[in-house]
Amino acid sequence: MLVDVPHLEEPCSPADFEARLRAVGTERYHDKHPFNLRMHQGRLSREEVQTWVRNRYYYQTRIPVKDSAILAKSGDSAFRREWVQRLHDHDGRAPGEGGLELWLRLADAVGLARDQVASLDFVLPGVRRACDAYVDLVERADLLTAVAASLTELFAADIMGKRIAAFERHYAWVDAEGLGYFRARTTAAPRDAAFGLDFVVEHARTAQDQQRCLDALARKCEILWSLLDAIEAAHRKPSVAPQVMLREDAERPGHLLAVLPERGVRVSESGREILQLCDGALSSEGVAMALRAHHPDVPHLSTDVHEFLDQMEKLGVVVRDV
């Protein structure tokens, strides 16, 4: 997705500015991402639901970090009193409470081991990059644009409603007890968004400030979108491209050479093990999981597998189908 927000030369009226902020969401919020569309239509596999829950947890863990950064930017007690509420919402007032805990209950409900989810060991590299980019964006931004980036909450209540309905209707195998996070957000998101929106509309008075807010919100939408891109890519099924000739590397026993029309690619022994699982039947995530089962003690294995497959795809050694 390209960020292409119409450029402001004169400041707009508060009503007009709000309309423009909402238009960014109408155009770019991830409720229109193919993965979310499929989720809401009930067309995700169990494996896909699990991958989403496991990965989206990383996003959840970044939210209080991001909100702490925003708190630290404000010199105003009234603002902080309001904003600190978000930390309590996510972290709870005691162990076993709060949004992060609710997400781990969702992980239980979709059949994941919560320790494994909480370890963040299986977070896809693309998801990690997207979430880290959001924290980075907020940390570098001034208070106004940092708050503007959080205004995707304006569109969140609606997507939470759709999600609850979709899970109840299509994913009956998910225990309804697990949907607590979504239910909590249907009330918290509108409250948070209303405060954030008032703040942004009140403080963005020049055309330049308004433009920066629109850009920050668009960038945030782009980040959420790329998070789902990464999850979707992890469910495409890799196979060795038909034009590739795989052969032993005479110089390095155990290693492979992948020969293509215009290049040769050296594949190490561990890469070879990954390629052997790329039979077009397993997804990239499935390959990562299978290798994890073989090598339970290798750190960052899942990340390495996905990064290897991304690289092999770029070099033309591997193709991935849906």
Is 265 or 277 the residue whose CB approaches other proteins more closely?
Answer: 265
CA triple 46-58-109, angle to 5 deg: 35
Is 10 or 262 the residue whose CB approaches other proteins more closely?
Answer: 262
Alpha-carbon distances, residue 223 vs 19, 114, 169, 200, 284 (angstroms): 22, 25, 29, 20, 22
Tell me how far, at minimum, the Cβ of 312 lies from other proteins, in Å.
15
Q: Does residue number 176 form part of the binding site for other proteins (CB under 8 A)?
A: no
Residue positions counted in the chain: 322
Q: Does residue number 311 form part of the binding site for other proteins (CB under 8 A)?
A: no
Tell me how far, at minimum, the Cβ of 260 lies from other proteins, in Å.
7
Tell me how far, at minimum, the Cβ of 245 lies from other proteins, in Å.
5
**Residue 95: count of CB within 10 angstroms of its CB:** 8
Side by side, the strands of the sheet bearing 264-267 are 245-248, 256-259, 264-267
**What 3-state class would DSSP assign to 250?**
coil
For 44-103, the DSSP string reads --HHHHHHHHHHHHHHHHHHHHHHHHHHHH---HHHHHHHHHHHHHHH-SSTT-SHHHHH
Site string for other proteins, 237-256 (x = CB under 8 A): -----xx-x-x--xx-----
Please tell me the count of residues contacting other proteins according to CB under 8 A: 13
Is 177 or 248 the residue whose CB approaches other proteins more closely?
Answer: 248
Tell me how far, at minimum, the Cβ of 264 lies from other proteins, in Å.
6
- Residue 164 CA to residue 40 CA, distance in Å, equals 9
Q: Does residue number 69 form part of the binding site for other proteins (CB under 8 A)?
A: no
Is 16 or 248 the residue whose CB approaches other proteins more closely?
Answer: 248
Is 169 or 263 the residue whose CB approaches other proteins more closely?
Answer: 263
Q: Does residue number 260 form part of the binding site for other proteins (CB under 8 A)?
A: yes
- Kindly list the residues in this chain that would bind other proteins in the complex (CB under 8 A): 242-243, 245, 247, 250-251, 257, 259-262, 264, 316
